[in-house]
Amino acid sequence: MKTPWILALGCLLVSCKEKPAPAAATLHATPAAAPSAELTAILAAAPAGEAKAIHVARTTAKPGEEITLSGRIMGNSKPFVEGRAAFILGDPELLTPCNEIPGDSCETPWDCCCDSSEDKKAGIATIQITGADGRVLKEGLEGVGGLAKLATVTVTGKVAEGSSADSLVVNATAIQVK
C-alpha cells in the first residue's frame, strides 16, 4: 500500500520544480501568417507630429482626434491581444519594466509588476488596428514588423469612440518601431 504515497510524492516533487526561464524565442514570437495589406500599410506609414507621453495625452484626448504617442509595449503580462491586431502601449515616464530594476529577476519584465495600479492605469493606452469596417483586424501583431514585448514604439492614430481619461484607445494609422 506504499505505492500511492510514492506516486503522490513523485508528483509533488515534479510539480514543485523551479520553472526554467523562458527561451529567447518565446519572448519574440513570429507571426503565423503574412500580415494583411492593411497592417503592412500601417507599419510602413510614418507617424505624424510630435509624440506625447501617454499620461499627458490621455487627460486631453477626445474621440475622433488625431494623436501621436510614444511608449513601450508593456504594462500587462500579455500586452498583445491574441489573434487580434491590438496591444498595450506603456508610458516609460510612469512605468518601469522589471528588467530595469537592479536585482529583479522577474520572468515577465514587461508586466511592470512593481508599479502601482494607479500608475498602470494612468500610463497605458490600448493601440488597435481596425479594418475598413471599423473592427479590429483578426490577426496577431506579436513578431510582426519588429513589434515585440518591451519594443519602443511611436503610434499615430485617431482616438477611438468611447475613449476617456480612464481608458485611452487609439485606432492606429501609423506605427514605427525603434
Domain presence at residue 23:
no
Domain presence at residue 28:
no
Domain presence at residue 27:
no
Which one, of 94, 95, 98, 155, lies nearest residue 126 by Cα? 155
Domain presence at residue 120:
yes
Better-predicted residue by pLDDT, 7 or 106: 106
Q: CATH code at 118?
A: 2.40.50.200
- Give the Cα separation of 13 and 166 in Å (integer): 45
For the chain, what percent of residues have pLDDT higher than 90?
67
Render pLDDT for 65-101 as a digit per residue (tens, 0 to 9).
Answer: 999 999 999 999 999 999 999 999 999 999 999 888 8
Query: What's the domain range around 170?
Result: 35-177
Domain presence at residue 77:
yes
CB under 8 A, 24+ apart: contacts of 15-24: 19/107, 21/107, 22/107
Which one, of 159, 154, 178, 87, lies nearest residue 124 by Cα? 87
- Name the pLDDT band for 3 (thresholds 50, 70, 90): very low
Better-predicted residue by pLDDT, 4 or 158: 158
- Give the Cα separation of 156 and 164 in Å (integer): 17
Domain presence at residue 164:
yes
Render pLDDT for 36-65 as a digit per residue (tens, 0 to 9).
Answer: 889 999 999 999 999 999 999 998 999 999
Render pLDDT for 6-32 as a digit per residue (tens, 0 to 9).
Answer: 333 343 333 333 334 444 434 444 445
Domain presence at residue 2:
no
* Count of structural domains within the chain: 1
